[in-house]
Every structure is written in structure tokens, then in C-alpha cells.
Amino acid sequence: MKGFISVSLFGAVSLITMPALATDLSIYGQGHLSFDSVDDGYSSSLYTSSNSSRFGIKGSHDLGKDLSVIFQYETGVDLTAQGFNDGNGPGQSSGQLFTKGRPSFIGLKGEFGTLLIGHMPYLDQWANDYNLFADQVGDLGNLWEASGIPGRSDNVVYFKSKNHSGFELSGTYVPEESDDNTQSTLVKGAYKANGLQVNVAYSTLGQGATSPDNHQSLAFTTAYDFGDFTLGGGYQSETDIAGVIGQDRKSLYIGGSVNIGTHGQLKAQYASSQSDSVNADATQFALGYDYSYNNQTILYVAYAAMDNDTEVNFSVNGKGHGDKVVPMLGNDPSVISLGIVYRFDHQLMK
């Protein structure tokens, strides 16, 4: 009996470790919870929010000759089990732990670069290049995504070149799939080296057969890491929003962070968005302090406020943040948030 068990265990270990598999496999995730006091400009309330929490499996399989299959399967997780409005995107799964699909793909990586197909970032490709409050209150996407550019997109074909002395070029295509004039395209150029990053992105979003004019956007972001502090910002121009000729919006932001001691970081971010429409501008300000207890755990406090003109109602705790509160037109929301973020990434097989 002992011999049988020994042989069985040896066979199982051999199957897992045999070179023919040639697979790297990891599980990873992030839990992000916060306790928020939200004032929508009319009344205030307390919320316990799950904010873009997630769970995923990722890996690669070596095919030889400098070619690999790479894959990622990621889902949103609502740690409050509310099942909706958890910052992971539109979806309804009331009472469930797993919510909306997040970036998931399968593709090839080699000397030519990387080619992927799946559910992929869209606006997030540039809006999160230097976004000090990503998934927190005061997220830049509260303004930059609000006119209809999706943070992520379904049915994406994505290509990224190899890195050449810090330069990369990428392209994203979303086919129309029998729905005329709904295809989307995105081209991005990026440079990152020696603490400096510069990114330029251009996008067109088809609006369907009833609107021949595409929603177009051009964005520029940059940042520099000085060591003990960082500074960055960007500009986004949108034309023919939702296919309406002359419906344009221009947005900009600037932010910075400074290290406080070994584990702390103080950060601030200001964003402004101006429309060609009357009384449709808004500004957002965010101030926060992150304490990185270790590489996996962050404790933070953040304050954010939105100043809306009379014809707009931008949220200050929307993009990437759970329990989004949409104010009435012209109201100015503000939030105080206490949060915890825990990340893990564990390799299962190599």
C-alpha cells in the first residue's frame, strides 16, 4: 500500500512539473473597501463600499522560438455582496460575490510584440497613466469618462509593439459586429524612461447608423518621478460627443504627490472640464494620504469635491468607486473616505 501511494504521488508531481506543460500560472486579486460620508449637495449619508475589487488568473505558455501564449481571466468582486454599483462597471448580480467581467484576454507574445483578443481597457489606457486617485473618490475618470468614452470595451483586438528604448506603440480595434458605424479605434504612443512618461492617444467611437459623425478624442498625459515626489497632468479634447456635431468638451488636470516618511504619501489632484454648451462646466479637487503598511496593504484617507455648473451633475465618487452617488443638476457633491486596499499575486506553477 505504501508503495502504491508513493508511486501515485510521484506520478502526480511529475504531471505537474513535466516540461511539456511549460506553463506559468498565477492567481491574483485586490480587495478595496472604504467607509464613506457622501454629501450630494442636498443631503448626506454613510456608505460601506467595495471599490473595483477583483480576482483573476493569469499566465503564459511557452511555444518555443520566442513565442508564447499569454492569458488572463479577471472578474469583479463585490466584497459587500451588494452585487451592483461596485465600481467594476454596469451589471446586476444582486447578492452575488462575483460581478462584472474585467480585463480578460488570450493572445500571443513574441519578437513582433503582443497581440490580444478579449475584454480590454479603452479610456483606462490613458486616463490611468497618472491618476493619483484611481478607484478612490476624486478619480480622474469622474470627468474624463463622463461624456461616453468607455473605461473598458468588449470584443477588442489589441496590438502593442515591443519596447524600443522606452517607446511603445499600440492599437485597439472594436469591430461593428453587424451594427453599422459602431466600430471603435484607438491608437496610442507611449514613452517611459528615467522617471519620465509621455503618452498620446487618439480615439474614434462609432455612434451607429443614425449618427454618421464619430465621437473623437485626443489625449495627452505626462508625469515625472523625482524620487521623493511626483508631478504630472494631462489634457483631453472630445469632439462631436455622442455623434452630435459641435458637442465638444475640453478637460485638463494636474496632480502631485510627496513621500512622507518611509510609508506615507500625501497627494493632491485638480481637474477641470469645459463644454461648448452653456453652464456645463465642472471642476474636481481631491486631497489624500496613503499609508503603505507593506507591499500588499494600503490604508488611506481621501477628500474630494466637485463643483458643477447648473446644467451638469458629475459625480465625485463614480469611476472605479462603489456606491456611486449622482447629484441633481447643479449640485456640488463632496466625500470623505477611509479605505483599505489589499493586493496579492501568488504563483501556482512555473
Is residue 85 situated within a structural domain? yes
Is residue 181 situated within a structural domain? yes
Minimal CA–CA distance to 71: which of 30, 29, 24, 31?
A: 24
Q: Where are the alpha helices (DSSP H) in 164-295?
A: none
Q: Say what the pLDDT of residue 97 is.
A: 82
Is residue 49 situated within a structural domain? yes
The strand pairing partners of 57, in sequence order, are 27, 73
CATH code where residue 315 lies: 2.40.160.10
Q: Say what the pLDDT of residue 17 is.
A: 45
Q: Which residues of 53-90 are buried (b: 16+ CB within 10 A; e: fewer)?
A: bbbbbbbbeeeeeeebebbbbbbbbbbbebbbbbbbbe
Is residue 11 situated within a structural domain? no
Is residue 9 situated within a structural domain? no
pLDDT in tens, the chain (350 residues): 444 444 444 444 444 444 445 789 999 999 999 999 999 999 999 999 999 999 999 999 999 999 999 999 999 999 998 877 898 887 666 667 888 899 999 999 999 999 999 999 999 999 999 999 999 999 999 999 999 999 999 999 999 999 999 999 999 999 999 888 999 999 999 999 999 999 999 999 999 887 888 999 999 999 999 999 999 999 999 999 998 998 999 999 999 999 999 999 999 999 999 999 999 999 999 999 999 999 999 999 999 999 999 999 999 999 999 999 999 999 999 999 999 999 999 999 88
96 vs 46: CA distance, rounded Å? 22
CA distances 71 to 106, 164, 279, Å, are: 4, 24, 46
Our count of domains for the chain comes to: 1
If 0-12 CB within 10 Å is exposed, 13-18 middle and 19+ buried, where does residue 101 land?
middle
What is the chain's alpha carbon radius of gyration, rounded to the nearest angstrom? 22
Residue 335 near residue 321, CB atoms below 8 Å: no
7 vs 89: CA distance, rounded Å? 49
Q: Say what the pLDDT of residue 350 is.
A: 80
Q: Which H, E and C letters describe 136-191, residue by residue?
A: CCCCCHHHHCCCCCCCEEEEEEEEECCCECCEEEEEEEECCCCCCCCCEEEEEEEE
Residue 11 has phi, psi (to 5 degrees) of -65, -40
Residue 137 has phi, psi (to 5 degrees) of -65, 145
> In the numeric block, which cell numbers belong to residue 157?
483586438
Is residue 339 situated within a structural domain? yes
Residue 260 near residue 158, CB atoms below 8 Å: no
Q: Say what the pLDDT of residue 4 is.
A: 42
Q: Which domain holds residue 292?
A: 21-349
The strand pairing partners of 286, in sequence order, are 269, 304
> In the numeric block, which cell numbers belong to residue 132?
493619483
317 vs 125: CA distance, rounded Å? 20
Dihedral (CA of 136, 301, 267, 285) sign: positive
Tell me how long the chain is: 350
Residue 321 near residue 49, CB atoms below 8 Å: yes
Is residue 8 situated within a structural domain? no
Dihedral (CA of 164, 295, 33, 72) sign: positive
> In the numeric block, which cell numbers belong to residue 106?
488570450
304 vs 289: CA distance, rounded Å? 12
Is residue 120 situated within a structural domain? yes
208 vs 231: CA distance, rounded Å? 39
Residues 6 or more apart from 10 whose CB is under 8 A from it? none
